[in-house]
Amino acid sequence: MVSISTPKELLGSLAAALDIPGFPWKRLIIGFSFAQYLLESYLSARQHQKLKGKKIPKSLEGAVTQEVFDKSQAYGRAKSSFGFIKGFISQVENFAVIYYDVLPKIWAVSGLFLINYAPTRFSGEISQSIVFFVVFNILTTLMGLPISYYSTFVIEEKFGFNKQTRSLFFTDIVKGQVLTAVLGAPILAGFLKIVQSFGGDFFYYLWVFGITVQAFMITIYPIFILPIFNKLSPLEDGQLKTSVEALATRLNFPLKHLYSIDGSKRSAHSNAYFYGLPWSKHIVIYDTLMEKSSTEEVVAVLAHELGHWSLSHTTKLFGIAQFHMFYIFALFSVFINNKSLYRAFGFHGMQPIIIGFILFGDVLAPMDTVVKLAMNVLSRKFEYQADEFAVGLGYSTELAKSLIKLQVQNLATMDADWLYSSYHYTHPILPERLAALGWKGGKVEFMGAAGRRVCLHAHAHGKKE
């Protein structure tokens, strides 16, 4: 008679099989990291060559001027060139952290801090893990500061997108660190306590905890977190508010609040989105989008976004995310007591849970790349479906125009290498979306200087008038 193993027994057998004394985990993880770096560098090189092109994609001829296309290409090349530098620095930092056993050093410093400065009641793994988390996060932020600064005040500044002052830039970093510590500490403590308390079954309880944390964050985000960084204001009465509310009513969308947000405080980029619990949704429209688009075009963008809701894309993605989280926690149970993994990274005689989770993430990186590719395919499919939904509501022309305007205003990439876009992009590129929309050309109005409207007559095979 064939015995059927339970999931717990299968995970236990896998854990025993992978705990091999002397196994070269460090070399394996460095190898994974280097292979991913080479792959992404190759894809970026392909895309960089694409960004040197001077010819406007056929479907965009007449929809964008040569000047706009050239500027978009230049913006893309600037980010791409800097991306090579950023990727190399990140790879060197990652290698140094692994090769020089930085994690056990930070763990030891965290323990010394508690011994020397904290009351006795704060001793133990959970307290030390929280200190480790805060220190590690601060160090990571400081190492990434030059990259972030250059990106904001050189590249974004050069192309007219940055609206941040240096004071606001650094204030945001401080706020982010404080918020991470205030929210992260109790969440981490709960995470660790569950793992400590439930033995080999911890991943079931950890999964429920994760879902609870997500619901909590969705609830408090608009009330406490978002106002720390941006000003949300109720959308003023007028045609736009009336049109959006009518769209929400038409779709039975549970709209509770309709906001405008001061996105222009930091950037000239435009966007609109919704968030909230299933029975209480909030729509947020960037002030930059309202300033540069007509009412019909803003509503068309929201028709696309609400299409994701109406077609249950958000529900499906949430379900996939929960499955992914469960599978992550279940696999973590395989590695949490892997002595050979801890020893390979300088942890002898101790197995801190937070360290195990970090190392497990490194081991899982190749599998996560495969998951990312699959999710990109699904996401692009959903984008096409949401566009089709907006077309069904009668917004075909307005959506096409709004996509063109958003592309121009954000100088987003107008052409992409197919392999690069498959790996990185969650959305189809503009020519692909316009082709799916059946865009035949038409008049597109752009806001010029001092609010002046500049008209471009766009034709499918493209001659400017």
Instruction: Find, among 173, 446, 419, the residue nearest to 293 by Cα.
Output: 446
Amino acid making up residue 409: Q
Q: Which one is catalytic: 305, 362, 383, 417?
A: 305
Amino acid making up residue 432: E
Q: Which one is catalytic: 61, 156, 362, 387?
A: 387
Q: How many CA atoms lie within 13 A of 333 on its CB side?
A: 25
Give the long-range contacts of residues 158-161, CB within 8 A, separation 24 or more.
Answer: 158/78, 159/71, 159/74, 159/75, 159/78, 159/411, 160/268, 161/267, 161/268, 161/269, 161/411
Beta strand pairing status for 255-261 and 280-286?
Answer: parallel
Q: Please give the sequence-ordered ranges of beta strands (E in DSSP) within 335-451, or none if there are none.
A: 441-447
CB 110 within 8 A of CB 131: yes
**In which element (H, E) is residue 199 found?**
none
- Crossing angle of helices 353-392 and 166-197, in 10° steps, is 120
Q: What is the DSSP letter of 236?
A: P
Structure tokens at 59: 């479907």
Instruction: Find, among 361, 465, 464, 462, the residue nearest to 61 by Cα.
Output: 462
CB 389 within 8 A of CB 310: yes
Distance CA 347, CA 274 (A): 45
Beta bridge partners of 272: 285
> Got the DSSP string for 283-309?
EEEEHHHHHHS-HHHHHHHHHHHHHHH
- Does 172 qualify as catalytic in the annotation? no
Structure tokens at 328: 């992550």
Report helix, strand or coil for 415: coil
- Crossing angle of helices 295-310 and 396-410, in 10° steps, is 100
- Cβ-based neighbour number of residue 5 at 10 Å: 10
Beta bridge partners of 445: 455
Contacts of 429 (CB under 8 A, 6+ apart): 413, 414, 415, 416, 421
Residue 100 CA, distance from chain mean position = 30
- Does 305 qualify as catalytic in the annotation? yes
Distance CA 403, CA 381 (A): 17
Catalytic residue numbers?
Answer: 305, 387
